[in-house]
């Protein structure tokens, strides 16, 4: 996965990486941040002097004051607001955009199946305004909504779930900027596992399930349900099976340090025992304009 989004986010790119840092272009701004996977030497050391923003774990953000105000990126089918956050993030993980075209194609395939009446009676398809069925997609740990908006733009009815109220509000802002505020999107502030278990009791079914769990998460404010990737993923995957319609599309991405591809693929395939030709395991990586490569995790994709 070397693309940063193609037609979905054409003005986002990794410029260079090395010496423990990464240099990204997010629209009009160059952003210099630390990253532990950038262990090689920088191919283009001179490019870094043009950075508008720089983040260091001890000193926080530096750069002109106007560079630290919110800005937008687009250049494709989406427009997203970015901000310099206290954690060093900006509200977008470019490696996830590499799954955008795949997800849009899978939503289109699900819509085509629905038009042929191929789904079972308990499928998760929701009615669209034009009377046709819209694939129902569940996005857990949905952050600021990149894949929620990709699925909605492709014609899905999306349930967007994140434990952080601020992230959900940010995602709604991105829906407005992208002209998708009127699409059928449910915005939910909740812990992923608890929400999925309640959906199962309600008899809800989804045709697509997207998970981007963190290595560690605090859960919803006031909740005791802290998230740990290595111990909690199997239970969440098992709960997701209970809300998955027949032949559901599944995307699981992971950034856990030291995770092997067969570990993540094994966990997904144990929960969703699908034929091998329907599942792929891929690296989450970016290739910089300089030629440097940044390894950022893994993705397991199960096709419809």
The overall longest dimension of the chain from CA atoms, in Å, is 60
CATH T-level fold of 12-82: Immunoglobulin-like (2.60.40)
From 83-97, 148-162, 215-229, the region with the lowest mean pLDDT: 215-229
Percent of the chain with pLDDT over 90: 66
CA 22, CA 30: separation in Å to the nearest integer? 10
What residue ranges do the domains of the chain occupy? 12-82, 94-302
Say yes or no to pLDDT of 151 above 70.
yes
> 97-149 pLDDT, tens per residue?
889 989 999 999 998 877 654 444 334 445 444 445 799 999 999 999 999 99
Neighbouring C-alpha atoms within 13 Å toward the C-beta of 105: 8
Residue 238: per-residue pLDDT: 95
pTM: 0.89
For helices 100-116 and 146-153, angle between their N-to-C axes, nearest 10 degrees: 40
For 94-302, CATH number out of 3.20.20.70, 3.40.50.150, 3.90.190.20, 3.40.50.720 equals: 3.40.50.150
Rounded mean pLDDT, 38-43: 92
> 241-295 pLDDT, tens per residue?
999 998 899 999 998 666 677 888 888 999 998 888 888 999 999 999 999 999 9
> 9-26 pLDDT, tens per residue?
888 999 999 999 999 999
The band of 4, judged by pLDDT with boundaries at 50, 70 and 90, is very low
């Amino acid at each position: 996965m070397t693309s940063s989004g193609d037609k979905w986010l054409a003005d986002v790119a990794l410029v260079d990486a090395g010496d423990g840092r990464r240099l990204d272009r997010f629209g009009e701004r160059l952003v210099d941040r630390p990253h532990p996977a950038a262990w090689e030497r920088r191919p283009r050391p001179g490019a870094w002097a043009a950075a508008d923003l720089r983040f260091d774990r001890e000193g926080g953000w530096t750069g002109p004051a106007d560079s630290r105000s919110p800005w937008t990126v687009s250049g494709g089918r989406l427009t997203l607001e970015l901000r310099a956050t206290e954690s060093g993030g900006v509200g977008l993980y470019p490696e996830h955009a590499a799954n955008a075209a795949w997800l849009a194609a899978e939503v289109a395939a699900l819509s085509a199946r629905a038009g042929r009446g191929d789904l079972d009676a308990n499928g998760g398809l929701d009615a669209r305004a034009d009377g046709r069925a819209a694939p129902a997609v569940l996005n857990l740990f949905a952050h600021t909504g990149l894949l929620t908006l990709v699925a909605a733009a492709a014609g899905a009815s999306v349930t967007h779930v994140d434990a952080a109220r601020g992230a959900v509000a940010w995602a709604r802002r991105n829906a407005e900027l992208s002209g998708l505020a009127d699409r059928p999107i449910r915005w939910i502030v909740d812990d992923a596992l608890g929400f999925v278990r309640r959906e199962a009791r309600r008899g809800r079914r989804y045709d697509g399930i997207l998970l981007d769990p963190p290595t560690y998460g605090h859960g919803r404010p006031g909740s005791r349900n802290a998230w740990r990737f290595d111990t909690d993923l199997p239970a969440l995957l098992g709960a997701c099976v209970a809300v998955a319609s027949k032949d559901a599309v599944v995307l699981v991405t992971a950034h856990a340090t030291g995770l092997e591809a067969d570990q993540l693929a094994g966990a997904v395939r144990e929960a969703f025992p699908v034929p091998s030709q329907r599942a792929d395991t891929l690296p989450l990586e970016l290739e910089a304009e300089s030629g440097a490569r940044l390894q950022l995790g893994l993705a397991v994709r199960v096709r419809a």
